[in-house]
Chain A
Amino acid sequence: GQNIDQPTEMTATEGAIVQINCTYQTSGFNGLFWYQQHAGEAPTFLSYNVLDGLEEKGRFSSFLSRSKGYSYLLLKELQMKDSASYLCAVRQTGANNLFFGTGTRLTVIP
């Protein structure tokens, strides 16, 4: 089976940096994904890690440590529009589907 843990809620200030952590347990790890989901909308893909290390894409970076079962999503220069839920998801070896965590609701305040 799989288990994913993320903080339920976080608050950060506009212009600041925030790190959202995700820990997971799974058999046969084959990739970790971060999705952004605004209220009432569909998730949109942010990043993908399958090897250890940091992947950077503009203001967003994602880090993975497979040995620790740990990932984080780093958001820099926060904007008000970044207020959303951030979903961590894991894929198992040989599977097509993703197993999602419950998400972290980020609120950006002025």
Chain B
Amino acid sequence: DAMVIQNPRYQVTQFGKPVTLSCSQTLNHNVMYWYQQKSSQAPKLLFHYYDKDFNNEADTPDNFQSRRPNTSFCFLDIRSPGLGDAAMYLCATSRDRGTHEQYFGPGTRLTVT
């Protein structure tokens, strides 16, 4: 059974049109992460939640926002997507702080036209 679920798997949006990507988990993990991975590059952390505490990486553009309404769900909002935001967006969870293993979802591949 899928433990970290991302919807949709593929998303096409227009330049400047807001888009929301979703992630849900059945693991009841405290920590949820959003990574951006561009072609042939490393996954880059955008932000993470420890429970309800939001932690933004210093170089994450303001164009990217996140919401975590409850333990199971986390959303990535891109307010005005640019062509450079086309990438795979990976959601991951870990049980708690200091827990070493992160579980990744299958990712959402975003195309900006």
Say if the beta carbon of B103 comes within 8 Å of chain A: yes
A101 B42 Cβ-Cβ under 8 A:
yes
Interface assignment of B18: CB less than 8 Å from any CB of chain A: no
- Complex CA distance for A36 and B57, rounded to whole angstroms: 24
A44 and B97 contact, CB distance less than 8 A: no
B107 at the interface (CB under 8 A from A): yes
User: Assuming the A-B contacts A42-B106, A43-B90, A91-B100, are A100 and B42 also in contact, with contact meaning beta carbons closer than 8 angstroms in the complex?
Assistant: yes
Kindly list chain A residues whose C-beta atoms are within 8 Å of the C-beta of B48.
Answer: 96-97
Given the contacts A31-B100, A41-B106, A42-B106, A96 and B94 also touching, CB distance less than 8 Å: yes
Q: Could you tell me if B97 and A102 are in contact, using CB atoms closer than 8 angstroms? A: no
Query: Interface residues of A toward B: which range?
Result: 20 to 34
Contact with A along B88-113 (1 / 0, CB 8 A): 00100010010011111111010000
With an 8 Å Cβ cutoff, the count of chain B residues facing the other chain is 24
Q: Which residues of A contact B33 (CB under 8 A)?
A: 96-97
Q: A42 and B105: CB pair below 8 A?
A: yes
A48 CA / B102 CA spacing, docked (Å): 11
Could you say which residues of chain B place their CB within 8 Å of the CB of A87?
42-43
Tell yes or no: A33 within 8 A of B by CB.
yes
Q: How far is the CB of A104 from chain B (nearest CB, A)?
A: 11
| Complex CA distance for A100 and B42, rounded to whole angstroms | 6
Give Cα A20–Cα B106 distance, bound, in whole angstroms: 24
B55, B100, B107: the one within 8 Å of A42 (CB)? B107
- Which residues of B line the A interface, CB within 8 A? 31, 33, 40-45, 48, 50, 55, 57, 90, 94, 97, 100-107, 109
- Residues of chain A having any CB pair with chain B under 8 Å: 4, 31, 33, 40-45, 48, 50, 87, 91, 96-103
